[in-house]
Amino acid sequence: MKSEPGECSIDDLAAAPGQTLPWTGVRNYQARNFMRDQMQIGDGVLFYHSSCPSPELIGIAGLARVASEAYTDASQFDPNGPYFDAKSRPEAPRWVHVDVAFVGKTKLLSRSALRADPGLQTMLVLQPGSRLSITPVTAIEWARLQEILQDAA
């Protein structure tokens, strides 16, 4: 799950009440579908910092877990908010989110380090043109990342 640190960082998640936050503002149908249809309570989350002022700050900054089933994202109904969707209706919401709970910070695993690892070449987040804020990670990719993060600790 990618977030701009200026909007929500791994430190923000760690400092949140109960160390849990709703992952609001997803406005891409494919990312929404990953969250709605594939995420399960307890699933691991790679907390990825994106759109940083300096490219060396982009990458996996921590671990989290899915803490709720998908439910309606109320931010779509706030006409004064950045995630307002005028076409969405309370009786037929378009957008959902899950709650995400803090597990721990990691040493930053940069995008270039991810790209350099042969076991991670198929990760969707690393594919050219990938701009989705939420992408699935295979069991093989997850295991490899756990090895890398363990070695970096």
User: Between these two residues, 147 and 54, which has the higher pLDDT value?
Assistant: 147
The pLDDT, as a whole number, for residue 100 is 98
The pLDDT of residue 120: 94
- In this predicted structure, the answer to whether residue 153 has a pLDDT above a threshold of 80 is no
Q: What is the pLDDT of residue 97?
A: 97
Arithmetic mean of pLDDT, 42-47? 97
pLDDT digits (tens, 9 = 90+) for 106-150: 999 998 899 999 999 999 988 888 888 999 999 999 999 999 988
What is the CATH number that goes with domain 2-152?
Answer: 3.10.590.10
Query: CA 53 to CA 63: how far, in whole Å?
Result: 22
pLDDT band with cut points at 50, 70 and 90 for residue 52: confident
The mean of the pLDDT values for the chain is 93
- 152: confidence class by pLDDT, cuts 50, 70, 90: confident
Please give the pLDDT value at position 105. Answer: 96
Residue 109 zone, left/alpha/beta (φ > 0; ψ -120 to 50; rest)? beta
**Per-residue pLDDT for 54 more than 80?**
no
Percent of the chain with pLDDT over 70: 99
pTM: 0.91
Per-residue confidence band for 28, with pLDDT thresholds at 50, 70 and 90: very high
